[in-house]
Amino acid sequence: MKPEKLMQRAHEAAKNAYAPYSKFRVGAALEMGSGRIICGANVENRSYGLSNCAERTAIFTAIAMGERDIRAIAVAGPDSQEPLPPCGGCRQVISEFCGSETPLYYSDGNGAYLSSTVGEIYPANSLMDLARRANSV
C-alpha cells in the first residue's frame, strides 16, 4: 500500500479517538502481511497512566485478531503542529513486533509526514536484533 493511503487510514482512525482531557487525537494504521489494515486510536482515562496510545491500540488489536506480520505503520496527529512520532512506550511495543526495516510514517495536522524505519527511531530494536548483535561480537 502507498504510504499516503496508509496515512489516510491513520487520519480516519484518529476521528475515533477518545481524548476528552487532552483534546489531542491520534490515529494509527498498520499494514499487515495478510493485506489487512488494522487501525487504532488513543483512548484516554482521567487517570492518565491508564490511557492507551493509538499505536499500542492498533498493535494489541492486531495481536488479538491473530495478526503478527506488521509490514508498515502510520501514525497521524491531526491536532499536532509537528509530525508526531511514537512515544517511548509505543517504540518499545513496536520493537517487540517489528523488524528494524519496518517502514514508519508519521504526520502532523496539515497532512505533511515524515518517513523512517523502526530501526531509525529505536536503534536497539528487538530482542532478535540484540541477539544477532551479541552473536556477531
Name the residues annotated as catalytic: 55
Strands 27-32 and 37-41: antiparallel
What DSSP line would sit under 16-84, residue for residue?
T-B-TTT----EEEEEETTS-EEEEE-B--SSGGG-B-HHHHHHHHHHHTT---EEEEEEE-TT-SS--
